[in-house]
């Protein structure tokens, strides 16, 4: 199996969509900073399926070419990584400008090209881009986990401990969202996540993302989906896949 590095979440979606890659991995939410909005937006636009999830404890390091903190004039990283290290940065580099990049890997690449820059990225990125570690485990919270989605073209088979992700929109009418959520409750289906994002082409309208336990092929989940269709403007099944432990 060969890995294809991509600089942004959008590029990962596009590589899978165009079948340049069989699978792609993108972050969907962090236990400290919440959902990754770019991934949510791409799930609306893209035709790829979610076929798996991965839960990883994320530890950040400060990297630079020289490994000397006194030479740092700029710190690069993805917005989520900067937020996850906010207190540490304020304490140790209060006057150094922070600059957002499309990914932590891109930040490491940029630090490798600029002797006065540092990057917040993984220790693996240090080996990949020839950088030295200035400080390790700089995240503000030890229990800092990120959930990643595995993207592909096929739904995963039933494994007995599954999760399904959908998105839908509803009308602006009293009780619209309640009727949707009531369907899950009446069928005894446990929701594990609910999130909303603005509909880009319709101001003040929203698209809801819901994760719940069960596989779209399960009989009781099919019943839920049949009832939901009657109470939403549109619905899209993003995928069913084994739950991460």
* Active-site annotation, residues: 146, 148
SS3 of residue 75 by DSSP: strand
The span from the CA of 22 to the CA of 13, in Å, is 11
Residue with tokens 């739904």: 155
Q: Which residues on neighbouring strands pair with residue 35, listed in sequence order?
A: 29
Q: Which residues on neighbouring strands pair with residue 57, listed in sequence order?
A: 145
Which residues make Cβ contacts (< 8 Å) with residue 78, sequence separation at least 6? 100, 101, 102, 103, 104, 106, 107
Q: Are 154 and 22 in contact (CB under 8 A)?
A: no
């Amino acid at each position: 199996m060969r890995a294809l590095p991509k600089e942004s979440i959008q590029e990962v979606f596009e590589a899978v969509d165009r079948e340049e890659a069989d699978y792609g991995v993108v972050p969907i939410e962090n236990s400290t900073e919440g959902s990754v909005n770019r991934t949510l937006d791409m799930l609306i636009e893209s035709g790829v399926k979610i076929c798996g999830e991965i839960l990883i404890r994320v530890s950040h390091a400060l990297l630079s070419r020289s490994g000397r903190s006194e030479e740092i004039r700029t710190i690069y990283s993805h917005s989520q990584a900067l937020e996850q290290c906010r207190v540490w940065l304020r304490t140790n580099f209060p006057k150094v400008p922070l600059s957002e990049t499309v990914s932590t890997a891109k930040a490491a690449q940029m630090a490798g090209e600029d002797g006065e820059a540092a990057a917040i990225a993984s220790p693996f990125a240090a080996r990949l881009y020839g950088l030295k570690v200035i400080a390790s485990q700089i995240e503000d919270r030890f229990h800092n986990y990120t959930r990643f989605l595995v993207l592909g073209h096929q739904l995963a088979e039933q494994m007995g401990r599954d999760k399904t992700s959908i998105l839908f929109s509803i009308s602006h009418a009293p009780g619209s969202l309640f009727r949707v959520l009531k369907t899950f409750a009446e069928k005894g289906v446990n929701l594990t996540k609910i999130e909303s994002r603005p509909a880009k082409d319709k101001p003040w309208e929203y698209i809801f993302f819901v994760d719940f336990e069960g596989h779209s092929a399960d009989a009781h989940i099919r019943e839920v989906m049949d009832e939901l269709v009657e109470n939403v403007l549109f619905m899209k099944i993003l995928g069913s896949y084994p739950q991460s432990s």
